[in-house]
Amino acid sequence: MHTREIVEALIFSAQGSLPEKDILKAVPGAGPDDIERYVTELNRMYEESGRSFRIERASSGYQYVTREEYAPYLKALHTPVRLSMASLEVLAVIAYKGPCPKQAIDSIRGVDSTSSLKSLLKHQLIDIKNGKPLLYYTTSRFLEVFGLDSLSELPDLRQFEEVFREEAGNPAGEEG
């Protein structure tokens, strides 16, 4: 196993751009120049063997990108985005409680929900009823994404106690 391939595996598996310092931490003994050299070597190998991807140096670190000529084919590909936990929380509140104002969502969650609301609006999972304050509610797209016919199909939360009931003395549950 060559350090170069460890660097490759690190960048390959990273979420988004991998900061150089994280690479240096993971492969002790290598310096920034080594990393850069490895990446150059890898990219040359990819190019020579006709690979459809390469490693790009971004301001924040290294990341894989597919070569531009493949973009037309990738556009056809449905690459779904996974919602963040925060967005899911906001969505859950709106689904069960909506239409409701942002203030109600924030107070139930105990944190500010601005960016999640933005992201959910962008994905058209929620919409806004005009008024003061603005009211948020879930859209038909929401039902589609969750495979529901209507909001009434959401399970009764009390029924869910069987899974989520708090165990005495072990509120965090098992970290399995």
Residue 39 binds which entry of a second copy, other proteins, none, with Cβ cut-offs from 5 to 8 Å by kind?
none
| 28-33 CB contacts, 8 Å cutoff, 24+ apart | 29/3, 30/3
**Binding map of a second copy across residues 43-82, x = CB under 8 A, - = no contact:** --x---xxxxx----------x-xx-xx--xx-xxxxxxx
Of 53, 89, 94, 95, which Cα lies nearest the Cα of 74?
Answer: 53
According to CB under 8 A, which one of 6, 30, 145, 151 is a site residue for a second copy? 6
Among 20, 22, 41, 56, binds a second copy (CB under 8 A): 22
102 binds a second copy (CB under 8 A): yes
Distances (CA, A) of 100 to 16, 40, 49, 151, 157: 34, 53, 56, 15, 18
**Residue 57 Cβ, how far from a second copy at the closest point, in Å?**
18
Whether the CB-CB separation of 113 and 90 falls below 8 Å is answered with yes
Tell whether residue 138 is a contact of a second copy (CB under 8 A). no
| Interface ranges with a second copy (CB under 8 A) | 1-2, 5-6, 8-10, 12-15, 18, 22, 25-27, 45, 49-53, 64, 66-67, 69-70, 73-74, 76-84, 86-87, 102, 114-121, 123, 128, 130, 132, 134, 153-155, 159-160, 162-165, 167, 170, 173-176
